[in-house]
Amino acid sequence: MTGLSPFSLRLMHGDFPRLERLLERVTVRAVVLRGDELLLVHSSVNGDFMFPGGGVEAGESHQDALARELHEECGAELLVKGGLLGETREYRSAREPDYDAYCIRSLYYLCRVGENRIPPRLQAYEERLGFKAGWHALEEALHNNQWLLGGHCPQWTHRETRVLAQLYRWHKDGALQAL
């Protein structure tokens, strides 16, 4: 990654007249590149692709959270946490009465993992959605666009598709390379 300015994307899932009282959750996402392929999680139920990652737990560093999520979802060992590629902020209706909205702030880091993989330790909902990690061509991952057109996809598919499109542009231009 040379000379790239981190991306910043904002997604609104609903109409929010004000965002003064905001409940925010911080998540981290691993961008693991190997040539023209990304290590992604595919859902056999939804048919979409997503980056390995999840919420940062209390007292956990971003590196520790990335290592935990890569191990749980992909059975992969984090070797290097590189620079921040960008972030997304997704706004949804808050279920808590004291808040105007709920924001998921996702931070995308370029990472390198070891070659050896062990069986992942998926959570129950991840098993129900048929999550399976693997190497996928960037162009194949843009298949998410087909799910967006149908309108019947999880909200995260919007976020991941926008990020995939940005990474695809950078990679085609030679600006994004593996660690």
Task: Give the domains, in start order, of the chain with CATH numbers.
Answer: 7-172 (3.90.79.10)
Alpha carbons 115 and 154: distance in angstroms, whole number: 30
What is the residue-level pLDDT of the chain in tens, covering all 179 positions?
456 789 999 988 887 767 788 889 999 999 999 999 999 999 988 888 999 999 999 999 999 999 999 999 999 999 999 999 999 999 988 888 888 888 999 999 999 999 999 999 999 999 999 999 999 998 888 876 665 555 667 778 889 999 999 999 999 998 988 88
Q: What is the pLDDT of residue 93?
A: 84
- Whether pTM > 0.75 for this model: the answer is yes
Q: How far apart are CA 113 and CA 117, in angstroms?
A: 9
Predicted local confidence at residue 112, as pLDDT: 97
Q: Are 155 and 48 in contact (CB under 8 A)?
A: no
